[in-house]
Amino acid sequence: MIHYVVTSFGMGIISGIFVLLFFAAIRKMNLYTVDGVSAIGSLLTQKDENARIVGSIFHILGAIFYTFIYFLVFRLVPVPKDAGSWIYLVLGLGLGFNHGMLAALVLGIILTRFHSMEKYRKLGFGIAIIHSIAHIFYGIVVAILYIFTI
């Protein structure tokens, strides 16, 4: 049990960093103008100062939490002994897709309706798509990390 907790915690940090790097790449390429990490951080702090730091910490903590869930699903889903490791990639992709849809829905509702800053209340469909893709990426990263631990 302690191995599961320590592994999930470490892998959560790693996978969370990968997702933050994904968001940073989106920002650098100017593919979308709104920074979702800062939007979440400023939702919590009610100001733009340090919003990206707070949003990043929130994402890392969320990544740790969800890695526990992903690893639990990976352990509980019956996988035939002759199945390759690819099955975990498929599971990670599926979990990431569903996780992304949930995140996009929640972000769409919370940020557009309850955020105190006008610029974050005007988020478009694009941020939902970006977060969905990021969570699919997260699921695949978690699956790859899980494969290395089994």
CA 119, 123, 128, 129 torsion-angle sign:
negative
Query: Span 34-45, mean pLDDT?
Result: 83
Give 36: exposed, middle or buried? Use CB within 10 Å, 0-12, 13-18, 19+: buried
Per the confidence metrics, is the pTM higher than 0.95? no
Confirm if 20 and 56 have CB atoms less than 8 A apart.
yes
For the stretch 104-144, pLDDT in tens is: 888 777 777 787 887 777 766 777 788 889 999 999 999 99
3-state SS track over 13-57: HHHHHHHHHHHHHHHHCCCCCCCHHHHHHHHHHCCCCCHHHHHHH
Q: How far apart, in whole angstroms, are the C-alpha atoms of residue 73 and residue 82?
A: 19
Q: Residue 73, SS3?
A: helix
User: Which sequence spans correspond to the domains of the chain?
Assistant: 2-149
Q: How far apart, in whole angstroms, are the C-alpha atoms of residue 143 and residue 38?
A: 27
Confirm if 106 and 13 have CB atoms less than 8 A apart.
no
Residue 88, token pair as written in the block: 């975990």
Q: To 5 degrees, how large is the angle CA 128–CA 61–CA 46?
A: 65
For the stretch 6-37, pLDDT in tens is: 988 999 999 999 999 998 898 888 877 667 78
